[in-house]
């Protein structure tokens, strides 16, 4: 193997290990917690998790700008005094925003449970957004091992505290939220240690560098808004469900979404490693790398869908209170195929080629479409099935529109792939929803084999390409 491949595999092993631990923690929380704490409390826990996914956008692209501007740089070459000033300014802004959220929650939130949740979210906002500065800096400079350790520390401490609470018989979701915050604080402290060169400095080296802050925000806000829009594609539908149905229904749907996201672990791990590498790669090589990675990703990820029905049967036996809602897995499982492609390939390439403004426009269009469909499915029709289907359709539309744009820029043709993937997705959904039996396994399995026959030349090309990559110097 050449040295670049070895470095890639080494870094990927770190992110994969980190994400595997995250997956293990998510699995334990997803499978054990709802069985023990009850449907209503689980609904409030999911409400906290849902709103927490958006606190990362309250740095207004500051950290994204750092990631974009310094992607591919060496950590030792960074201007540490400049980063120290950015760190102080970011902390100050987050603390001011958090105080505002805490005060406003007392007037705007409905009920004591929601007041508590929003106050905890305010604390979470400060912790996460400051920690993101360390994570994005480490990712941009390819210090993947340290990046992974911060993430692992967070999840290990969290699951340890949750399991301890459950073992002593405590079923209070309030303490679970506190456990989540404590684990994040400890990982934040470790992140400060990892980046101590620009964190622990004499305050005399601080300068109010508003110009640098503005450049980072101006560069990063497009990417941040694009990421916000991508989350809103799902978030708007979930918000519509939370508003139109009770918290128990919201919790059941959220459980199904959590299960559907399990497969994102492998994909996300690759994306974190690939971005700084692509920033250092010659642009003329990007189209061939894209096709190679895309074929590999789709062949592997589409095969995961065959495990849908066995997983559904096992989960229904383990969580009988959620058995009815697990049918929605037939609608949500394919979402990972499209979301994974966006995370690993499309967004990574758009960032590498500096098309973050295009990312924003494409995602904004999809959000608008998702919002219109959400109003119809949740408010006007009050149809939960169609509302959940909107989540998948939003991801499909977003992935296809973005990839059509990207394929033109890379001068590659993906029309055949679009037709095959949409057809296979429809077969999976229709068999899973209407048949709902073990027959779904051979039906999808045979369909997948037919897909491989149509992709026979691409499979061979991908195998040869991967082999050459591994042995080339």
Distance spanning both ends of the chain, measured CA to CA:
7
Report d(CA 262, CA 15) in Å as an integer. Answer: 15
Nearest Cα neighbor of 176 from 68, 351, 30 is 30
Tokens at residue 291, please?
């096709």
The verdict on pTM exceeding 0.85 is no
Taking phi over 0 as left and psi of -120 to 50 as alpha, with beta for the rest, 61 belongs to left
Residues 6 or more apart in contact with residue 196 via CB below 8 angstroms: none
Inter-residue contact 403 to 423 (CB < 8 Å): no
Three-state SS string over 391-412 comes to HHHHHHHHHHHHHHHHHHHHCC
Q: 3-state class of 1 per DSSP?
A: coil
Per-residue burial over 44-83, b = 16 or more CB atoms within 10 Å of its CB, e = otherwise: bbbbbbbbbeebbbbbbbbbbbbbbebbebebeebebbeb
Is the separation of the CB atoms in 175 and 165 below 8 Å?
A: yes
Could you list the pLDDT tens digit for every one of the 473 residues in the chain? Answer: 455 555 555 665 666 666 667 667 766 776 777 777 777 888 888 888 888 888 888 888 898 888 888 877 888 888 888 989 999 999 999 999 999 988 988 887 777 888 899 999 999 999 999 999 999 899 888 788 888 889 888 888 988 888 888 888 777 888 889 999 999 999 999 999 999 988 888 888 888 888 888 998 988 888 788 777 777 878 888 888 888 887 778 777 877 777 766 666 556 656 666 656 666 667 777 888 888 888 888 888 888 888 888 988 888 888 887 777 788 888 888 888 888 788 778 887 887 787 878 888 888 888 888 889 889 998 898 898 898 888 888 888 888 988 999 888 888 888 899 999 999 999 999 998 988 789 999 999 999 999 999 988 888 887 777 666 555 44
CB atoms within 10 A of CB 28: 14
Q: Could you give the count of Cα atoms lying within 13 Å of 127 in the half-sphere of its Cβ?
A: 21
Structure tokens at 179: 């456990």
Report the 10 Å Cβ neighbour count for 449: 9
């Amino acid at each position: 193997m050449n040295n670049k491949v070895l470095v890639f595999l080494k870094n990927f092993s770190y992110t994969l290990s980190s994400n595997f631990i995250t997956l293990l923690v998510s699995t334990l929380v997803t499978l054990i917690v709802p069985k023990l704490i009850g449907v209503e409390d689980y609904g409030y826990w999911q409400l906290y998790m849902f709103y927490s996914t958006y606190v990362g956008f309250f740095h207004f692209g500051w950290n994204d700008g750092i990631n974009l501007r310094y992607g591919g740089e060496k950590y030792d070459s960074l201007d540490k005094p400049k980063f120290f000033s950015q760190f102080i300014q970011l902390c100050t802004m987050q603390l001011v925003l958090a105080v505002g959220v805490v005060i406003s929650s007392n007037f705007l939130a409905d009920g004591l449970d929601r007041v508590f949740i929003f106050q905890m979210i305010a604390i979470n906002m400060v912790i996460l957004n400051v920690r993101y500065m360390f994570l994005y800096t480490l990712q941009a400079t390819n210090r993947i091992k340290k990046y992974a350790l911060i993430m692992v520390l967070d999840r290990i401490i969290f699951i340890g505290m949750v399991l301890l609470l459950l073992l002593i018989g405590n079923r209070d979701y309030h303490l679970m939220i506190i456990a989540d915050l404590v684990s994040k604080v400890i990982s934040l402290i470790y992140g400060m240690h990892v980046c101590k060169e620009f964190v622990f400095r004499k305050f005399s080296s601080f300068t109010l560098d508003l110009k640098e802050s503005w450049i980072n925000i101006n560069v990063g806000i497009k990417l941040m808004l694009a990421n916000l829009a991508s989350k809103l594609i799902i978030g708007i539908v979930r918000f519509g469900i939370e508003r139109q149905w009770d918290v128990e229904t919201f919790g059941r749907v959220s459980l199904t979404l959590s299960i559907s996201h399990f497969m994102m672990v492998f994909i996300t791990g690759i994306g974190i490693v690939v971005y700084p590498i692509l920033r250092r790669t010659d642009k003329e090589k990007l189209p061939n790398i894209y096709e190679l990675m895309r074929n590999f990703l789709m062949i592997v990820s589409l095969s995961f869908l065959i495990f849908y029905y066995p997983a559904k049967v096992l989960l229904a036996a383990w969580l009988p209170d959620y058995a009815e809602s697990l049918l929605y897995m037939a609608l949500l499982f394919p979402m990972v195929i499209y979301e994974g492609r966006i995370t690993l390939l499309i967004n990574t390439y758009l960032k590498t080629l500096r098309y973050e403004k295009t990312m924003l426009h494409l995602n904004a269009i999809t959000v608008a479409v998702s919002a219109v469909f959400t109003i119809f499915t949740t408010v006007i029709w009050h149809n939960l099935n169609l509302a959940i289907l909107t989540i998948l359709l939003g991801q499909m539309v977003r992935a296809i529109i973005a990839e059509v744009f990207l394929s033109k820029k890379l001068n590659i043709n993906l029309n055949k792939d679009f037709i095959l993937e949409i057809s296979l997705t429809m077969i999976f959904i229709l068999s899973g929803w209407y048949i709902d039996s073990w027959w779904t396994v051979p039906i999808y399995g045979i369909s997948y084999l037919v897909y491989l026959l149509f992709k026979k030349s691409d499979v061979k090309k991908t195998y040869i390409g991967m082999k050459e990559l591994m042995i080339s110097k």
